[in-house]
Structure 1
Amino acid sequence: MWNPKSASNSPKEGSIISVEPIRSRKHIDLIKKALADKPRDYALFVVGINTAYRASELLALTVGKVRHLQPGDTFTVREQKTSKKRDVTLNKAAYDALQALLTIMPDAADDVPIFNGRKGDKALTVSTLNRLVKEWCSWCNLPGNYGSHTLRKTWGYHQRVTFKRDLPEIMVALGHSSQRQTLHYLCIADSEIQDLFLQGEL
């Protein structure tokens, strides 16, 4: 079992901060297993890697917004960063995690944040989510820098690499303006360019 205080994957002072996706399904499963007895954190992680939400969008979810959702339901999110509207569809993994969390807060009012802090009535902050993700990745001894954007990047990375979805689809789902931006964001542009040379022999 990890010791969050003993590990740090923060970048050195003065360096450019760029967080990474969790590339290995094994590490995703390890984090899920470790969080299995913590419904809030488990749901935070699973919903984060299954919806492509930005951290602020994820933490803005309230009980009322998710209480009656079913797998396959689509709802519109207005991006705080760009003010654009983006559709998000709930899959079964995210649904199951949210339902497990809702069972421990049956009397919560609709306006209560689904991912609340210790006091129970205020949403977690992005900085807290950032710290939590760093801790979860440190538990798995993952090298590199991780943070709140890791959840969203993990979704995109696996859509592209694991599930072989087309880049234009992922670009739209992430709300990006270009495919180049998406490739750079998902930290896979360099590897794909290398593959062009290595696998494209004539």
Structure 2
Amino acid sequence: METVDALRDLEQINSLKDHLKKQSYRDYLLFVFGINTGLKISELLLIKVKELFNTEGEMKDFYSYAEMESERRKSVFLNKKVKEAVKSYLDHVNIEEQIYLFQSRKFKQPITRQQAYRIIHDAAIKVGIEGKIGTNSLAKTFGFHAFKQGVSIALLQKHFNHSTPSETLKFIGINKVEIIATQIDVNL
């Protein structure tokens, strides 16, 4: 499998979002959900709509899931952008027929990993993004921007289930000579 890059440029991220939103609300949601949670594509595709809502029908703040490798329960925060994208998408589909969040238009199954790759990769080409972009770029983009905003490499290491901080730095595309200025403002 070929290594892909994180999307570092916010303008590129926004142009990709705009393109995907015009193409399909589901595809837009896939991108937004991925870059805001850092979930692997295999974990994203298994999300069921009902898992995002509580018994009162309100969207949860955290999505909990069982890790594929270990079966341990983990949770990811659903920020405002994710919640807005989910709501927007569900407003455009027949909610009674939606089992999976990223459901195929033909079957009541999630889209395949290959289809998800085509969606992200083709959109990146269409908006003129150079570099290797694929489904793993979503998690890498999340990690890169979280690190850039001051999230510790130890937290990201735990989030991605990496065994060393250097593995996580390599995954998000930070090399030893690259220095990223982070702004940590406790504002006491």
**Equivalents in 2 of 1:76, 1:107: separation in Å?**
21
The question of whether the paired residues in 2 share the 8 Å contact of 1:86 and 1:175 is answered with no
2:150 & 2:18 partners in 1: Cα distance? 26
1:81, CA displacement in angstroms? 3.3
Q: What TM-score do you get using the length of structure 2 for normalisation?
A: 0.85
Aligned residue in 1 for 2:112: 125
Specify which of 20, 31, 55 is matched with residue 45 of structure 1.
31
Deviation at 1:105, TM superposition (A): 2.5
Distance 2:119 2:70 in 1: 26
Hey, what's the Cα distance between the residues in 2 that align with 1:109 and 1:140?
32
* Equivalent residues of 2:62, 2:77 under 8 A apart: yes
Name structure 2 gaps, 5 residues minimum: 180-188
> Equivalent residue for 2:185?
none
Partner of 1:194: 177
Matched, 1:108 2:93: no
Amino acid at match of 2:12: H
Structure 2 residue aligned with 1:159: 146
- Using the alignment, how far apart are the partners of 1:195 and 1:75 within structure 2? 33
CA RMSD of aligned residues (A): 1.9
> What whole-Å deviation, never above 9, does each CA across 1:144-176 have from its counterpart, x for those lacking one?
212111111110011112x12211121122222
Unaligned 5+ segments in structure 1 are: 1-15, 197-202
Displacement of 1:106 in angstroms is 4.0
Counterpart Cα distance in 1 of 2:97 and 2:49: 7
SS at match of 1:50: helix
In structure 1, the residue matched to 2:43 is 57
Q: Could you tell me how far apart the structure 2 residues matched to 1:120 and 1:92 are?
A: 29
Matches of 1:79 and 1:43 in 2, distance apart? 21
Is 1:78 the equivalent of 2:66?
Answer: yes
Residues 121 and 134 in structure 2, CA contact (< 8 A), matched pair in contact too: yes
Q: CA deviation at 1:184?
A: 1.2
Q: Which amino acid aligns with 2:162?
A: H
**What is the CA–CA distance in structure 2 between the aligned matches of 1:79 and 1:95, rounded to whole Å?**
22
What's the counterpart of residue 27 of structure 1? 12
Question: Which structure is larger by alpha-carbon Rg, 1 or 2?
Answer: 1
How does 1:179-190 map onto structure 2 within 5 Å? 179-188=165-174, 190=175
Determine what percentage of the aligned residue pairs are the same residue: 26
Task: Label 1:106 to 1:66 Cα distance change in 2 as closer, same or farther (>3 A).
Answer: farther
Q: Is the 8 A contact 2:39 2:139 kept in 1?
A: yes
Offset, 1:54: 0.5
- CA distance in structure 1 between the partners assigned to 2:127 and 2:33 by the alignment: 19
Residue 134 of structure 2 corresponds to 147
**How many pairs does the alignment contain?**
175
Letter in 2 for 1:136: A
Give the Cα–Cα distance (whole angstroms) in 2 for the partners of residues 177 and 82 of structure 1: 14
Are positions 1:95 and 2:83 aligned together? yes
Q: Is the 1:31–1:136 Cα contact (8 Å) retained in structure 2? A: yes
Give the letter aligned to residue 88 of structure 1: V
